[in-house]
Amino acid sequence: MKTESHRSSHEQFFLDGPGTRKSELGFVFRVARDFIKGFRVLHFVGPCVTVFGSARIKEDHPYYELGRRVGRSLVDLGFTVMTGGGPGLMEAANRGAQEAGGRSVGCNISLPMEQSNNPYLDRWVDIHYFFIRKVFLFKYSYGFIGLPGGVGTMDEIFEAVTLIQTRKIAHFPIVLMGEKYWRPLIVFLEQMAEEGTISEADIKLFLVTDQIEEAIAHIDYYAKEKFRLKRIQSPVPNRLLAEW
């Protein structure tokens, strides 16, 4: 039985199971609205590299400075830095991009707590559904950098791996920054390979490093040389369509 608290949340209502035809149609329209809103904002920002990372790490943590350096270095390669738009290490990467004079964009998820847009975004879009947000984070990106993070960061990183593994997207580079933090994950993946649930090749989808130079060289090789990505002129917004 659906409670009033369930009805107050589109996400919880959706997960309650089949609803009325009217409510299901309303869900479809809300999803379409989020997609259209995101396409209108993000169509003009690429090419991007998406940086994942914890929303909970504060400015005085060494990982925060690592995130700023990542943002600055990606701008030096000619990329727009895209994040989930929130605080913590997402903020750090966006901040580094702005400090380097590059473009900084975010795809923020609307949550009742914790997540809000950070102040270092040139453009952003607010999204209600996680699955739509992930579409945007992957659609415009030619590489992915995972800074230390929690369950949300892991979800996004493994979504990228799954898409590459199943050839739904090209073999774009995935870099995990913070070798000590990510080492237990790599050990677990190696155990999975031994059990035969993944292949050795899947582990090689990751570069795990503490070195900014190595990470950026990896992104540069795969995204720019292997895929022959060149500096491109972004599409011009149409004023008649109220774009940008």
Q: Are residues 145 and 27 in the same domain?
A: no
**pTM given for the model:** 0.85
Give pLDDT, residue 6.
41
Mean pLDDT throughout 190-200?
93
How far apart are alpha carbons 154 and 198 in whole angstroms? 17
Residue 235 lies in a domain: no
Q: Is the pLDDT of residue 236 over 80?
A: no
Q: Which amino acid is at 64?
A: Y
Residue 243 lies in a domain: no
In this structure, how many other beta carbons lie within 10 angstroms of the beta carbon of residue 104? 28
Give pLDDT, residue 242.
59
Residue 169 lies in a domain: yes
Tell me how many degrees the CA angle 30-141-171 measures, rounded to the nearest 5.
Answer: 120
Q: Are residues 8 and 54 in the same domain?
A: no
pLDDT digits (tens, 9 = 90+) for 27-85: 889 899 999 988 888 888 878 999 999 999 999 999 999 999 999 999 999 999 999 99
Q: Are residues 16 and 93 in the same domain?
A: no
- For residue 147, give its domain range: 45-230
Residue 74 lies in a domain: yes
Preceding amide of 47 cis, omega within 30: yes
Q: How distant, in Å, are the alpha carbons of 109, 119, 164, 218, 231 from that of 225?
A: 33, 33, 18, 10, 12
Residue 163 lies in a domain: yes
The least confident of 123-127, 198-202, 232-236 is: 232-236
Instruction: From 40, 24, 1, 207, select the one nearest 123 (Cα to Cα).
Output: 40
Residue 120 lies in a domain: yes
Q: Are residues 80 and 2 in the same domain?
A: no
Residue 168 lies in a domain: yes
